Structures are given as structure tokens and as C-alpha cells.
């Protein structure tokens, strides 16, 4: 909630992000290692995303990168990997000491996210791709993917990037233990979708969590031309004037 709006699920305003990160003791020069726990989210729950801790960690990483934190990392496999390695865990809360100067203007890296007007430009461009990191059922409009999104379908002209089976699983980007797949496996998946490094790519999902994971993978693989369409299907489908498609693409 500190980094995302609970209404749109988009990143918060630059000033809100600055205040939130400073309150957690994070400046641009802080090394931040994020992790979560995968808890088999159920879309019938009122708040299924609350169980998608590892996705949430990667989403937070993308927002911190956007704000300007220079060294953001993800614990590969999250809390599960830590426990499997035999390290201790604790149940007490640790509270950070706030800082009063983030150290740079926010956002320092505005390229991490694009918004809806830019997404529309991506669709029209010959050297840019808007990539749907959603399940096939979401992409063809069988399901919306979320209990709070009513409209089903996809953004016309978007490329199917294939993440996994539903809105809270990323099997095609992760191993069974939720560690990240080897880079050549992810690279092959992107290439099979025609997503080559010479193209400018913007990943989107429902609200930005899966899009952020696909973005983070591509970024770590050395692709400098990647972003997240922050609004995703949620923002796009909420505007009745925006076109959408269902069924298998031609």
C-alpha cells in the first residue's frame, strides 16, 4: 500500500514514493534485498494478492528502481529458498530507522514504467511491442483473471508473452521451487514470441505484478529497452472508449 495506490494499483506519486521509502530507511544509495513467500493464492479469496508475496516483492523492486534506488535485488526463490537452505527465521518485527534525504529526485529512472498514452503508441509502432504477460485464458478473454476486474479480453495489437496458468502464477518464468528459470530458458521463450532485444518492450498484466517480474528478468538479462505498462488490463479495461479483443488472434 505504501508503494501502490489501493484504487488503481498503479505506482504512487513521486512525492508519495519519496516519503514512503524515506520512512523505511531507504535512500538512493541503500542496497535493498526483497523477498516474499509464495502461498498458492486462490482467486476466490477477497484479497488473493496477499498470498502472492514473491510477486509483490518483485513489483516493489521495479517501483524502487523507478524511484531511483541504485541497488535493488531479489532473494531468488524468496523465503522458501532461505528456509530450504537451513537458515534461521524469526517472528519479531524489525523497524528501520528513517532517513530524511532520499538523495535524488524521484523518479530517477522514469523509463521503468510507461502509462496508457505511451502504451497506445507502442501498439502503433513497428519497433516497439506491448507484451501481455498473462495466461492464455486471460489473453483470449475466457476469464478476466481477477475477482475485481469484470471485463475480459486483451489490448488489441498486444503480443502474447505467456507467464503461466493464472494471475498469480509465473511457471514459465520460474522453476518448481519458485527460483528464476535459467536465463537461456527465458530468452528462448521471448524469442519464440518474436520479442528480440532490438525491440522496445513494455510488459503488462492485470495490475503490474507479473509485468514487473517479466521486466526484471529481461532487465537482468541485459536488455536496456524494457519497461512495465503500469496500468495494465485493469486501467485499460476501465475506460469504455478503449478497444479490446477476445478469442484467438488471427
Rounded Cα gap, residues 221 and 216, in angstroms: 9
CB 229, CB 119: distance < 8 Å: yes
Among 213, 223, 57, 76, which Cα is nearest to 133's?
A: 213
Q: Give the single-character DSSP code of 228.
A: E
CB 234, CB 9: distance < 8 Å: yes
Active site residues: 205
Rounded Cα gap, residues 59 and 4, in angstroms: 10
Joined grid coordinates for residue 178? 519458485
Amino acid at each position: 500500500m505504501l508503494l501502490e495506490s489501493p484504487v488503481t494499483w498503479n505506482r504512487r506519486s513521486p512525492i508519495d514514493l519519496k516519503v514512503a521509502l524515506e520512512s523505511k530507511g531507504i535512500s538512493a544509495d541503500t542496497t535493498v534485498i526483497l523477498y516474499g513467500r509464495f502461498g498458492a493464492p486462490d482467486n476466490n479469496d477477497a484479497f488473493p494478492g496477499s498470498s502472492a508475496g514473491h510477486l509483490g516483492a518483485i513489483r516493489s523492486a521495479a517501483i524502487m528502481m523507478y524511484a531511483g534506488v541504485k541497488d535493488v535485488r531479489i532473494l531468488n526463490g524468496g523465503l522458501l529458498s532461505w528456509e530450504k537452505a537451513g537458515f534461521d527465521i524469526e517472528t519479531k518485527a524489525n523497524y528501520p530507522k528513517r532517513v530524511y534525504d532520499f538523495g535524488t529526485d524521484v523518479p530517477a529512472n522514469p523509463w521503468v514504467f510507461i502509462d496508457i498514452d505511451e502504451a497506445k503508441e507502442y501498439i502503433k509502432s513497428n519497433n516497439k511491442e506491448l507484451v501481455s504477460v498473462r495466461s492464455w485464458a486471460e489473453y483470449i478473454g475466457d476469464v478476466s483473471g481477477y475477482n475485481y476486474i469484470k471485463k475480459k479480453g486483451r489490448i488489441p495489437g498486444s503480443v502474447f508473452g505467456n507467464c503461466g496458468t493464472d494471475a498469480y502464477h509465473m511457471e514459465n518464468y520460474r522453476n518448481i521451487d519458485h527460483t528464476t528459470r535459467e536465463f537461456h530458458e527465458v530468452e528462448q521463450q521471448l524469442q519464440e514470441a518474436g520479442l528480440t532485444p532490438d525491440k522496445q518492450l513494455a510488459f503488462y498484466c492485470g495490475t503490474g505484478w507479473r509485468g514487473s517480474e517479466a521486466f526484471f528478468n529481461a532487465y537482468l538479462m541485459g536488455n536496456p529497452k524494457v519497461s512495465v505498462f503500469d496500468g495494465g488490463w485493469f486501467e485499460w479495461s476501465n475506460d469504455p472508449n478503449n478497444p479490446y479483443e477476445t478469442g484467438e488472434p488471427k
